[in-house]
Amino acid sequence: MIQRVSEAQVIVDSRTVGKIGRGLLVLLGVEQGDSARDSALAAGRIMGLRIFADAAGKMNLNLKDAGGQLLVVSQFTLFADLSRGRRPSFAKAAAPEQARRLYEDFIGRCCAAGATVEHGEFGALMQVRLTGDGPVTIIFDSRSG
């Protein structure tokens, strides 16, 4: 899930571990079966996403062109299955080792593409604070292209 923000931060145990100004907050979920191909596709798509306004006010600029920053937060709960009962199942989420590897791979790819990247702490209980800009919220699934 991608949100355009005016600012965002991640807090773990009362300390800020990641903070950005204008940019994108990415809640990154890794599903069973995801691979480096999915990480590369997501990073490329998100880095090229033209959702920032140009001088004419049109959504025409990507993160780098807009001078924005990226905040990436691991979010296995994106794969919650609510089809049975009242307690969500997270069986579709990748195992922690695989998820961490692809989370770090995604961050590395975004850095290599020239983004200023901050991130949460994988596996920690985190508070995410944000000021949405727009609001603009986009759900992207690498399996859907």
According to DSSP, the β-strands at 127-138 and 2-12 are antiparallel
> What amino acid occupies position 61?
L
User: Is 81:14 a contact under the CB 8 Å cutoff?
Assistant: no
Structure-block tokens of residue 128: 């995410």
Catalytic positions, written as ranges: 75-77
Angle at 125 between CA 120 and CA 7, to 5 degrees: 40
The residues near 64 (Cβ < 8 Å, ≥ 6 apart) are 47, 113, 114, 115
Residue with tokens 């995604």: 106
